[in-house]
Amino acid sequence: MEICSAGRLTVEKTEITLPDGKKKERVVVHPGGAVAILPVEGDDCYLIRQYRFAIDDYILEAPAGTIDEGEEPHETAYRELIEETGMRAETFVPKGWIYSSPGYTDERIWLYLARGLSPCSDYCMDDDEVIEVVRVPVADLAAMIADERIVDAKTICLICRCLQ
């Protein structure tokens, strides 16, 4: 049973059967898919410092965004990199996907490493985003995760996949 729907997000209450046969009611959030991109140029990468209303704070994270209907994840990665950083990339290297929080949502986030960056003149950030692009040495990323300057889960997963 659908509890609510707002844009592309649907919240559903459903009865599930656990592997042991027990039946339980659960709420599942269906936000659709998303992408996250780690743009790397030389020894540096670009993250964004973005205001996130759910935590009422700024957070350092990888550029990311939602997949529009009919769009493939690599097309979203291309579009979102431009929208959030003002840069294009020559190459997008797929790094797999992750579940963002499978305890309550079926959201998948596709991960990409972007290389061959260049400025994009048709840069246009969404009007509901407060973003600052931050250049970070790749060599500093592990320490930034360890000391909690980077706490965003998708960004941590993306960094781990890209720097293996």
CATH number of the domain bearing residue 82? 3.90.79.10
Supply the pLDDT for residue 127. Answer: 65
Supply the pLDDT for residue 6. Answer: 76
CA of residue 39 relative to chain centroid, distance: 13
Provide the domain count of the chain. 1
Supply the pLDDT for residue 4. Answer: 85
Give the separation between CA 15 and CA 17, rounded to whole angstroms.
7
In a domain, 11, yes or no: no
Supply the pLDDT for residue 74. Answer: 97
Q: For the chain, which residues score pLDDT lower than 70?
A: 123-127
Supply the pLDDT for residue 30. Answer: 84
pLDDT one-digit tens code per residue, 118-150? 998 776 666 677 899 999 999 999 999 999 999
In a domain, 64, yes or no: yes
The whole domain housing 130 covers 34-95+107-162
Going from the C-alpha of 163 to that of each of 56, 154, 156, the distances in angstroms are 30, 14, 11
